[in-house]
Amino acid sequence: MMARITATSRAGTVFLISGSFGFCCYNVDAADPEAGYFARIADTSKGFTKYTVGPSHITAQFVKSTGAFVDSFTILSNQDSDTDGFSDGIESYAGTDATMACGTNAWPPDVNNDTFADISDVIALTGFFGKPVGASPNSPVRYDFAPTVPDGFVDVSDLARMVGLFGRRC
């Protein structure tokens, strides 16, 4: 069983119940007066929650062993220490340096590290377009730097953010 209460930034505490073993599963009563407090809930899957923790973010992903339930969320810092337009949280998540605005793995849209956001970066990103973050052939996390809380996919929000900076130098 897996249940989660809101993960909206600054919305308060996140409660996560993740059943890893034992008898599966007690039925969830959707009419229960407390059911509405849960952002995601399921009574059909067993599994565990994998946490990925960086200096300015935490990502939690439900890894199922039975059933089909899918859930993940990220909590991150909105501070931007190097004032490069990308929060420490996004940089922590994507693996760029949150204290360096320019250079190797320093500015999220400059995926080829040549200090420009240009067509080479767009081509590199479109190579993973539509893919979730994960092991090959999925996308490296480096390409998932949008929206404000990255969503685990390389899609139009990442491309739009990159194209919005097209031609700029970090």
Q: Where on the chain is the footprint of Ca ion (CB under 5 A)?
A: 80, 82, 84, 86, 110, 112, 114, 116, 121, 144, 150-151, 153, 158
- For residue 52, the minimal CB distance to Ca ion (Å) is 15
* Nearest to Ca ion of 32, 114 (CB atom): 114
- For residue 48, the minimal CB distance to Ca ion (Å) is 24
Q: Which residue has the tokens 């900076």?
A: 165
Separation of alpha carbons 93 and 150, rounded Å: 8
Separation of alpha carbons 105 and 7, rounded Å: 28
- H helix count then E strand count, the chain: 3, 6
* Nearest to Ca ion of 67, 85 (CB atom): 85
* Nearest to Ca ion of 22, 167 (CB atom): 167
Separation of alpha carbons 138 and 47, rounded Å: 22
- For residue 60, the minimal CB distance to Ca ion (Å) is 17
* Nearest to Ca ion of 3, 149 (CB atom): 149
- For residue 43, the minimal CB distance to Ca ion (Å) is 30
Separation of alpha carbons 144 and 125, rounded Å: 9
